[in-house]
Structure 1
Amino acid sequence: MAKKKKIKSPSSIALNKQARRNYEFIDTLEAGLVLVGTEVKSLRKAQVSFNDGYINFKDNEAWLVGIHIAPYDHAGYTQHEPDRPRKLLLHAAEIERLKAKTEQKGLTVIPVRLYFSKGKIKLEIALARGRNVHNRKDELKNRDIARDTARQMVDY
């Protein structure tokens, strides 16, 4: 009898924690990244910062801008530039669709998380709309109310 192969879930490298707090996600996509060797080694050590990352569209290509991948310690003279724009690997139709939607008022494309999938580094991106302070406060209030009612229903 043959053994069943275990399907591993993608292991996460880094997560943009501010994204879900500051944005309302409309759609999410998986994109590949064009990286150099020292960037991959640095990402394996999870040395990445999503501080002000966003996706820019230029010449029918998508570029990841504002992500800081720290230099690899043991690279020698072949070091990468930490803050360089990185090309995203997406289909042309996906790029056109995202570009058209970002031209609408208030929509942007942001990086959500980096992870390994089948030995490749993937980036989850999201088409999102920015939230203001009042929306965030209302969401927190509604979440607290839902949690309290769930507790009361268990006790009842």
Structure 2
Amino acid sequence: MAEVSTKTIAQNKKARHEYFVIESFEAGIELVGTEVKSLRAGGVNLKDSWCSIENGELYVKQMHISPYDHGNLFNRDPLRERRLLMHKREINRLFGLVKQKEYTLIPLSLYFKGSRVKMQLGLCKGKKLYDKREDAAKRDAKREIDRAIKERNR
């Protein structure tokens, strides 16, 4: 079977700072033609986006896809809700986890897989302020260690 190429369009760096990612999933996304063309040009922002499950369907909200320059009347609302495509069983499992354990569904990245647009969803739990400080301290310590090793190897 042929290897399917993937090309990352956008990543949500804020998500990994604000949340613990428990598990990640891949979902297709329902788009119109001008939105795909805008994605190819890199006009997307995942920063404040989140997902919800309504009537057994998964939607991404507040994902901003800039209007395509040459799209004129075919352009849609940049912040419209977009349906995510996953198997019903997966959606029901996520719905149970979100309701019972108070997890959140956050888009982590958007990418092309072949000619299709896919979204990596994270099942996340919110970080507290002390968790963020702890992560920053670990990052700084690692940076210091790497610097010391680099100095020593000169």
TM-score by length of 2: 0.89
The answer on whether the counterparts of 2:5 and 2:114 sit within 8 Å (CA) in structure 1 is no
Give the Å deviation of 1:106.
3.7
Which ranges in structure 2 are unaligned for 5 or more consecutive residues? none
State the partner residue of 2:24: 28
Q: Look up the equivalent residue of 1:117 and give its one-letter code.
A: K
Runs of 4+ displaced beyond 6 Å = none
Structure 1 residue 104, shift from structure 2 partner: 2.8
* Match among 127, 133, 144 for residue 129 of structure 2: 133
* Aligned equivalents of 1:72, 1:146: Cα separation in 2: 42
Equivalent in 40, 47, 52 of residue 56 of structure 1 = 52
1:83 aligned onto 2:79: yes
State the 1:146 CA deviation.
3.6
Residue equivalent to 2:138 = 142
1:17 aligns with 2:30: no
Q: Which amino acid aligns with 1:81?
A: D
CA distance in 1, matches of 2:74, 2:134: 49
User: How many residues get paired?
Assistant: 151
Q: Secondary structure at the match of 1:84?
A: coil
Aligned-partner residue type, residue 49 of structure 2: G
Change (3 A) 1:9 1:141: farther
Q: Quick check: 1:106–1:130 contact (8 Å CA) kept in 2?
A: no
Separation (CA, whole Å) in 1 of partners of 2:93 and 2:109: 21
RMSD between superposed Cα atoms in Å: 1.9
**Contact persistence 2:59–2:84 (CA under 8 A):** yes
For the residue of structure 2 that corresponds to 1:35, the secondary structure is coil
Q: Percent identity?
A: 37
Uncovered stretches (5+) of structure 1, i.e. residues with no partner = none
TM-score by length of 1: 0.88
